[in-house]
């Protein structure tokens, strides 16, 4: 049984297979072709934090593949009333075929997975957001082809998204440049990714403009992630020089793309002219969550399929 708790839980080969499948599955969806390999399968979705994209993409995706979903939140289940995570995992995984969890610490999803009879997917933790990076890389490939050897600039917080980019660079062999304000660096230990070793590693930059110079993709995220709201004001001040603006886009490669996992705050981490501008692919990126996750669920439940 395979879980997907971090980006590097799957090999490069399996990740690329899922991305290939995502393209096929997306094509079927666009052609209104019914594809229901998951009839009679049930996905439980556990949300301990808010969501729009993750919920809609998993729920719609599962229905499209013929399955069904159960939606649980901390507030309306025993999870919010201190039932041990191990007990919840044992019970829930006896009734469903697959579980997606959005929660706080990575240790919580690991504890759930350790006691689950079925595959568990990380729908965002404080440390990682693997499904989002899968969608981001799929989106890059759709627009520009293989990401191997390309340069991605991460500007902003050293958060769950940044940690996952670190793992993806190591797995898929692209250059990652990371620029964060001091005190908000990525956690090399969390991501367990190599630094400063060429393609497949990441390099840090004190100056975000330098990180963006010649990059093929510039990407950012909110300055304050869910669960860190108390730091909002301090972060707003610390991150002021890390807004992705037109000057940063101009410093990148002429055909550079802009991505943001959303939700976005125009005028904070990104200038409206950038996110709403011609280089932005954020709507494709959001839609692609559904296609890559359908491919991921197919893989976790059925393995490699023919055609
Ligand atoms: N990008 C993303 O995960 O969005 P939601 O928080 O809306 O699910
Ligand atoms: N880093 C953000 C991503 C939201 C999809 C958060 O964790 O809140």
pLDDT in tens, 45-89: 999 999 999 999 999 999 999 999 999 999 999 999 999 999 999
Asked if the 7-129+286-302 domain carries CATH number 3.40.50.2300, the reply is: no
Q: Identify the residue whose C-alpha is closest to ligand 2 atom 7.
A: 225
CB distance 172 to ligand 2 below 6 Å = no
Nearest to 57 by CA among 25, 79, 105, 9: 25
CB distance 264 to ligand 1 below 6 Å = no
Domain spans of the chain, in order of start: 7-129+286-302, 133-282
Please write the tens of the pLDDT for every residue from 226-266: 999 999 999 999 999 999 999 999 999 999 999 999 999 99
Interhelix angle 130-144/160-172, nearest 10 degrees: 50
Catalytic option among 129, 177, 260, 291: 129
Q: Which of 55, 154, 261, 264 has most ligand 2 atoms within 8 Å of CB, for mutation?
A: 261
For the question of residue 97 being annotated catalytic, the response is no
**Mean pLDDT lowest for which of 121-125, 184-188, 250-254?**
184-188
Please write the tens of the pLDDT for every residue from 25-50: 999 999 999 999 999 999 999 999 99
CATH class of 133-282: alpha beta
The total of other beta-carbon atoms located within 10 Å of residue 298's CB is: 22
The total of other beta-carbon atoms located within 10 Å of residue 141's CB is: 18
Reported as a pLDDT band with limits 50, 70 and 90, residue 192 is: confident
Question: Is 7-129+286-302's fold the same as 133-282's?
Answer: yes
Q: Return the ∠ at Cα 155 (arms to 152 and 161), rounded to 5°.
A: 75
Whether 65 and 297 have beta carbons less than 8 Å apart is answered as yes
CB distance 179 to ligand 2 below 6 Å = no
> How many whole angstroms separate alpha carbon 307 and alpha carbon 300?
16
For the question of residue 131 being annotated catalytic, the response is no
Q: Which of 187, 226, 228, 265 has most ligand 2 atoms within 8 Å of CB, for mutation?
A: 226
Among the bound ligands, the one closest to the CA of 260: 1
Whether 151 and 214 have beta carbons less than 8 Å apart is answered as yes
Catalytic option among 21, 41, 175, 289: 289
For the question of residue 221 being annotated catalytic, the response is yes
Adjacent-strand bridge partners of 155? 179
Measured in degrees and rounded to the nearest 5, phi and psi for residue 224 equal -125, 110
CB distance 147 to ligand 2 below 6 Å = no
């Amino acid at each position: 049984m395979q879980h997907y708790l971090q980006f590097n839980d799957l090999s490069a080969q399996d990740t690329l297979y899922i991305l290939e499948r995502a393209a096929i599955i997306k094509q079927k969806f666009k052609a209104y072709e019914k594809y229901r390999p998951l009839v009679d399968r049930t996905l439980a979705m556990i949300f301990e934090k808010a969501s729009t994209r993750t919920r809609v993409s998993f729920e719609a995706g599962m229905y499209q593949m013929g399955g069904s979903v159960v939606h649980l939140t901390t507030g309306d289940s025993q999870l919010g009333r201190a039932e041990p995570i191990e007990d919840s995992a044992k019970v829930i995984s006896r009734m469903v075929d697959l579980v997606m969890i959005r929660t706080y610490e990575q240790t919580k999803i690991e504890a759930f997975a350790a006691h689950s009879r079925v595959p568990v997917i990380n729908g965002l933790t404080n440390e990682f957001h693997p499904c989002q990076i899968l969608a981001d890389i799929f989106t890059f490939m759709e627009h520009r082809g293989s990401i191997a050897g390309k340069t991605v600039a991460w500007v902003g917080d050293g958060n769950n998204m940044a940690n996952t980019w670190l793992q993806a660079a190591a797995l898929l062999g692209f250059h990652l440049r990371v620029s964060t304000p001091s005190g908000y660096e990525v956690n090399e230990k969390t991501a367990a990714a190599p630094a400063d070793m060429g393609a497949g590693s990441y390099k840090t930059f004190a100056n975000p403009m330098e990180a963006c110079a010649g990059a093929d993709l510039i990407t950012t995220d909110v300055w304050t992630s869910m669960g860190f709201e108390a730091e909002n004001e301090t972060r707003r001040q610390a991150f002021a020089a890390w807004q992705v603006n037109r000057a940063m886009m101009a410093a990148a490669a002429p055909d550079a793309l802009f991505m943001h996992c959303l939700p976005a705050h125009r005028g904070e981490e990104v200038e409206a002219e950038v996110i709403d501008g011609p280089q932005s692919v954020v709507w494709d990126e959001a839609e692609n969550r559904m296609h890559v996750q359908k491919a991921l669920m197919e893989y976790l439940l059925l393995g490699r399929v023919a055609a």
